[in-house]
Structure 1
Amino acid sequence: MTLREHIVELRNRLLKCVLAILLGTVGGWIFYNDALAFLKAPFEDSVAALAAESNLKPILTFTGVGDALTFKIKISALFGLIVASPVWLYQLWAFIAPGLHRNERRWAMLFSAIATPLFVGGMWVAYWTLPKGLEILIGFTPLDIQNLITLPQYLDFVIRTMLVFGVAFLIPLVVVLLNMVGVVPASALGKFRPYIILVIFVFAAVATPSGDPFTMCLLAIPMCLLFFIAEVIARLNDRRKKRQVDELLAD
């Protein structure tokens, strides 16, 4: 394809992505109340736990006249981006794939197949830990002070937490792929394992928006387990490569 044909193809695929996201945004506008209830559930669970232990009654609020409309548009757009993800991910893949070699295409497909469950699993762990994390953070509010949390601020906190967990769960997969292509040998992973574990806990402490030890451990411990699994896979892969080399030398 010529450069012009590539640009035309890119334009057409971007238009399809934008159209899919706009349609998803319309769906998000229709199901706004359900999406909002899903996002508010961790906060409500933390409030219920705090009410049983203290007199704290934090509430979600808006601070401006137009904040409610802006927030609804933001939630609808986020909903549309998530719902349309199969479309824009496919369009991205369809644009890149023709330029890849067969071997590169195979690794990319393997990465996509494994990365999606890991990313979703990380986001689910984050959503599951949010009530306890919010309870710990809000629990530091003095008894004679009312805690008013704006919905945009709360949404940013939830999204950042879920994205951090999702991306963190992909790191061991990257380690395995680097081992598959021969960049990172399993022996190096074993040699530097204590330092890697230390880096994981430091990363968890810095990356989690809440910063509380509970959320940090709930991110670091699964990352360590996934790293151990990645190391085992890397060792098995290195042994397989060694057997293949030995067989070639024997022949």
Structure 2
Amino acid sequence: MVGIPRRSRKDRPVDGTMSLMEHLYELRRRLFFAALGLLAGTVLGFVWYTVSIPALGLRSLNDILIAPYCNVPAQYRLVTGGREGCQLLATTPFSFLQVRIKAALMVGAVISSPVWLYQLWGFVTPALYSRERKFAVSFVVAGGALFFAGAALAYYVIGEGLKVLLSFAGDAGTSALSPDSYFSFLIAMLIIFGLSFEVPLLLVMLNFAGVLKGARLAASRRYAIFGMVVLAAVVVPGNDPVTMSALAIALAILYEVAVQVSKAHDRRKERRLVAAGMAELSDDEASPMPVEPGPVGHTDAVGGSSPVPPPAPIPPVEPPDRLGDAT
């Protein structure tokens, strides 16, 4: 079977256009390097799980992830030997192996994010204009920063949330968390907070696209804050008041930031329209023609006509001699 020829990168058009098969080849190449980066980050996270470098102040990944649980007072959890009485209780032989793999995958995705984000950006960039690329870079950077900020906030409030959740037992019992339940709760909280912090960025993106106005967002502030409180109550596992309050307050602050950014963008857009003389036009009204119309009855001179030569005569076609053909 003859393979479909592919053009080299230097032979492709300047505008980045490619055929369907070239797009598929490019997607395969980008996915390969993204998966390779994720694999390398996962291996590094798997090794880091039990390795610490005290000279550099680097704790092991296990110590970092278990720290919120260790911050819970000893009266609310089972005190075991080693590590000052702070350990998880495994109930199956594969509990810690599964937890280590999950933690390595999570850390690998974070560590390798520059690699797979670069591959994603390299695949999408040829389809964007220069102005769209500028906005896309800004939104990708802001989205990554907001996700990490949300995950960091979740990490610091998980300890307080566990204090509330584990204190409900009182003197009736002691909590002994298994690795599966604890790390599932931890990873879910990190992802929920990180994704929730993307909601205000989505509103700003809609404003930049012309779908939402800053004034509309400001007028809907009360309903939006109520919706964020409901969202925090629904998505937070355990529904403890500390974690829900932290998420709702953070989202309310970010929503106000989105409102101010959107209003500032609208004012800047209005100033550009005023400078161009199109501020009074509605969204469905056409802008005026840049050419000044002439007086009524005025016509521009059109070049003189030139005669068109008549078509050449068609010579008559004589009918064939049927009698001669028959003979």
Instruction: Output the TM-score relative to the length of structure 2.
Output: 0.71
Aligned to 2:67: 41
1:148 aligned to 2:148? no
1:32 aligned to 2:53? no
1:119 aligned to 2:136? no
Q: CA deviation at 1:70?
A: 2.5
Which of 70, 78, 103 pairs up with 1:57? 78
Which of 244, 252, 271 pairs up with 1:216? 244
3-state SS of the aligned residue for 1:145? coil
3-state SS of the aligned residue for 1:140? helix
3-state SS of the aligned residue for 2:172? coil
Equivalent residue letter for 2:40: L
Between 5-14 and 140-149, report the one with greater CA deviation. 140-149
Equivalent residue letter for 1:139: S
| Alpha-carbon distance between aligned partners in 2 of 1:214 and 1:228, rounded to the nearest angstrom | 21
Which of 100, 113, 119 pairs up with 1:91? 119
Q: CA-atom RMSD, angstroms?
A: 1.8
**Where is the helix percentage greater, Structure 1 or Structure 2?**
1
The runs of 5 or more residues in structure 2 that have no matched partner are 1-17, 51-59, 80-86, 279-289, 291-327
Bigger radius of gyration: 2
Maintained 8 Å contact 1:29/1:76: yes
3-state SS of the aligned residue for 2:239? coil
Instruction: Output the TM-score relative to the length of structure 1.
Output: 0.92
| Alpha-carbon distance between aligned partners in 2 of 1:127 and 1:2, rounded to the nearest angstrom | 46
Q: CA deviation at 1:142?
A: 4.2
| Alpha-carbon distance between aligned partners in 1 of 2:269 and 2:105, rounded to the nearest angstrom | 47
Identity value in percent: 35
- State how 1:188-199 maps to structure 2 within 5 Å: 188-199=216-227
Aligned to 2:20: 3
1:200-230 residue CA offsets vs partner (Å, 9 max, x unmatched):
1111111111311111111111111111111
Aligned to 1:184: 212
Q: CA deviation at 1:161?
A: 0.7
Maintained 8 Å contact 2:76/2:174: no
CA spacing shift, 1:56–1:80, aligned 2, 3 Å: closer
1:203 aligned to 2:220? no
Q: CA deviation at 1:76?
A: 2.2
Equivalent residue letter for 1:26: V
1:50-91 residue CA offsets vs partner (Å, 9 max, x unmatched):
x3xx46437522221222222222222222222111101110
Aligned to 2:304: none
Aligned to 1:128: 156
Maintained 8 Å contact 1:56/1:143: no
Runs of 4 or more off by more than 3 Å in structure 1? Answer: none
Q: Which has the higher contact order (CA 8 A, sep 6+)?
A: 1
